[in-house]
Structure 1
Amino acid sequence: MKLRRDIGFHAVAGTLSILWLLPIALVLLTAIRTFDDIASNGLGAMPSSFSLDSFGAAWHAGGQSRAMVNSLLVTVPTVVLSLALAAAAAFALSRYDIPFRRAIILLMLAGNLLPPQILLVPVSKLSELLGIYDTLPALIAVQVGFGLGFYTFVLQGFMWAIPDEIQQAATIDGAGVVTIFWRIILPMTRPALAALSALAFTWIFNDLLWAITVLRTGTVMPVTPALLGLQGQYVSNWNVIAAGSVIAAIPTVAVFLRFQKHFISGLAVGAVK
């Protein structure tokens, strides 16, 4: 019976893995084929040519180089600022008896349950009133605001599980609030911070909705909206479009592989505790 279960599990898991990897393999194969090969044999045919020219076309002529810089200029500051604010808020909510603490946590979490589509027009109008519309700081502010609640919720659950005796011992030794936060609580929260960093980087880097809501000029567009422009520029050049998609996926894949061991364990422990 156990052998049958194992065989069945591996058969189902293997099938799902193949179905999951097939589109990725198709994109990679398309990216390394020439336009003439695709036009003659079709997208589904095995490649009869090999060329990396499509990557150069997507990177330079397609504007992926500029879009990649824009994405990093938005993603890196947003991740750092969001986690810094979330860590400070989570420290206060988890380690001190703040009035209406539970209500504050639920309110911050409830903000993430709102469908973003109903907020597109208000966010766009607000950025115009503030004079930051069509700028990267506007996108950073939006990403920080809409991610802060979830990050705080996860981190406060992780910090709440840290024994009170550790903080009490530090207080007896004369450590202040800032010292306790920076040198004791924050290092102990490193697994959750690593997991959230990978998750936040992926979310923000791949975002399309908020980027096209507060940005309009092509020169400030991040990489994901820039892929739409790439499709319009190279309508039938599927190899260039596929190459642009591969380029856009490289940073998030690299970050996920770097923090892979922290990703699931950190989020699971923080959410449960």
Structure 2
Amino acid sequence: MRALYFLQLIPSSPHSTKNMTKPIPASAYAGKDNRMSDVVYERLLDDILSGRRQAGEPLSELALTKVLKVSRTPVHNAMLQLIKDGLVKQDPNCRPVIMGIEAKDIIEIFEMRILLEGETAYRAATLMKKNTLQKLQRLHDKTAKTQPRKKWLKGWADYDAEFHRAIAKASGSQRLAHDVSRYRLLHRGLNLFGFNEEEAPLETLQTAVDEHAQILEAIEHGKGRAARSAMHTHLRRWQKFFAKLFEDKADSLQDDPGLIQFKRKSV
């Protein structure tokens, strides 16, 4: 038997989890690329990371459909994905139970992204269509311009999603693109945990824009190895950022014992 320790924020409100989870508005999945199951997945992931849903808490698909105001199918599919990602566990004839997330999971998520997206960047250098590359370059130029903070952050989020999606698709491998999409979902959940609109690390995001430019330049000139190396550098920077974020959250325990706890589960 071994003990697992992982970091989890503890909500300050005494209200129940059900009351703290808000319904998903129709606008959240209005975009053509937004599957409803992905939106439900992100909401549940955010609940887990933020502590609104805590380790050991059982989950009911029927209850979630009522709280989130969506049908049963996307909830079921999101639950299956959370189980695959190790964030939820379901034993035979039992309800799913939240396992939470460990600091090492953050490292592993990015190690997988580095392996997968390094390969997609390498392939995209010879397979990406010219019009796709030009679209990404236009989005990059638009994002690189100075804009009001809120507008810039929205533009960055849209550009970043399209950047990684387009490169994955250009790899010519449906399996690779699917796996990249899966780990991108986890990353978006980490973004929700890591910072809100007011606290978004603009310097880090602006550095990421510059790194995108290096990747696009390598792809434009058909330099697969350079594209892969630039993608590795880009993702390792984010890996370091989120690893440090978890360390900082742990350190803050000394200042505010009520804010963060290390949950312990025996397995």
TM-score, normalised with respect to structure 1: 0.29
User: Which has a greater percent of strand?
Assistant: 2
Please identify the structure whose Cα radius of gyration is greater: 1
Q: Which has the higher helix share?
A: 1
